[in-house]
Amino acid sequence: MQRDELELDLPPVFEIGEKVRVRKLLKNDGTFPGQEIGAVLAKKGDIGYVASIGTYLQSSYIYAVHFLNTGFVVGCKKKELESVEETNESNAPRK
């Protein structure tokens, strides 16, 4: 995406209910209530689910990700997330 191209001109990359992984450490920048500024909200590799999709400054999507291990719902940018493919938990062959 070029600098002058709006992310909102395209459909969201992630869907509501999609399982995602955080690509970097996320800290409270002062917009997360009940936690001190600088408190860790999600660590690199944490798994969550997209709960809702909003917009930021009429230019990009913000994905509200629910992290089940902490209960936090954190707003994330596209570049902070990656999709997690559902894998078969069992190594047994399918019949």
How do the domains of the chain map onto residue ranges? 18-83
Q: Which residue has the tokens 């001109």?
A: 9
What dotted CATH number matches 18-83? Answer: 2.30.30
pLDDT beyond 70 at 87:
no
The confidence score (pLDDT) of residue 7 equals: 85
- What one-letter code names the amino acid at 93? P
Average pLDDT over residues 59-88: 89
Q: What confidence tier does 8 reach under pLDDT thresholds 50, 70, 90?
A: confident
Return d(Cα 89, Cα 62) in angstroms, integer.
30
Return d(Cα 74, Cα 51) in angstroms, integer.
10
